[in-house]
Structure 1
Amino acid sequence: MSRQRSHDIPMQRTAISLKALFLEGTTMFSEYRDLISRLKTSDPNFAEMFDRHDELDRQIADMESGVSPHSHHEIEVLKKEKLHLKDRVYTILRQAQ
């Protein structure tokens, strides 16, 4: 009978997405909660960026936890894209105030 080592068991996804943080009210953009809600319904481009950030968060978490195959370079590329989206979201929020 073989015994599974703990590092052979995929970790559960623990990354918290921008969307999840927003919904829980703990996002660093919490001061923009109402504005985010309005922009997500009135600006398809903003909603797409917000959702893409969330999707990248999930992909990165899966890669880092071993759920999906990856290379270090692939993770870094996704993290850079995610950071770029976060910056764009923040810029839009500041401009729309």
Structure 2
Amino acid sequence: MLGESHDLLHEFPDLETKIATLRSNNAEFARLMDDYDALDARVRDLEELGTPVADETIEELKKERLVLKDTLYGILRS
């Protein structure tokens, strides 16, 4: 959905405690999560503000966000 938040707590509410623990204790996880949050905010801003941008650009950003989310989820499930 246009402008919908995809932050990890919204995506994985059942893993809230583990997300908080890893963010505090795992520098790599925290860095990846910061990257994910920044990318998610960028996608939302482009969608919500109607900034002229090629469809391919938005799709590439969304793919990058998905790769980061998959990586973070892999860490959460390990």
Deviation for aligned residue 1:67 = 4.7
Q: Say which of 42, 58, 64 aligns to 1:75.
A: 58
- Is the helix fraction higher in 1 or 2? 2
Q: Output the TM-score relative to the length of structure 2.
A: 0.81
SS at match of 2:11: coil
Runs of 4+ in 1 over 3 A off after TM superposition: 66-69
For 1:40, give the aligned amino acid: R
Match of 1:7 in 2: none
Structure 1 unpaired stretches of 5+:
1-12
Write out aligned runs for 1:1-97 (5 A): 14-18=3-7, 22=9, 27-95=10-78
Deviations 1:39-91 (A, max 9, x none): 10111111111121111111111212235342111101100000001111110
CA distance in 2, matches of 1:76, 1:56: 12
Of the two, which has the highest radius of gyration?
A: 1
Instruction: Specify which structure has the bigger relative contact order, considering alpha-carbon pairs within 8 angstroms and separated by 6 or more residues.
Output: 2
Q: Output the TM-score relative to the length of structure 1.
A: 0.68
Q: Percent identity?
A: 34
How many residue pairs are counted as aligned between the two chains? 77
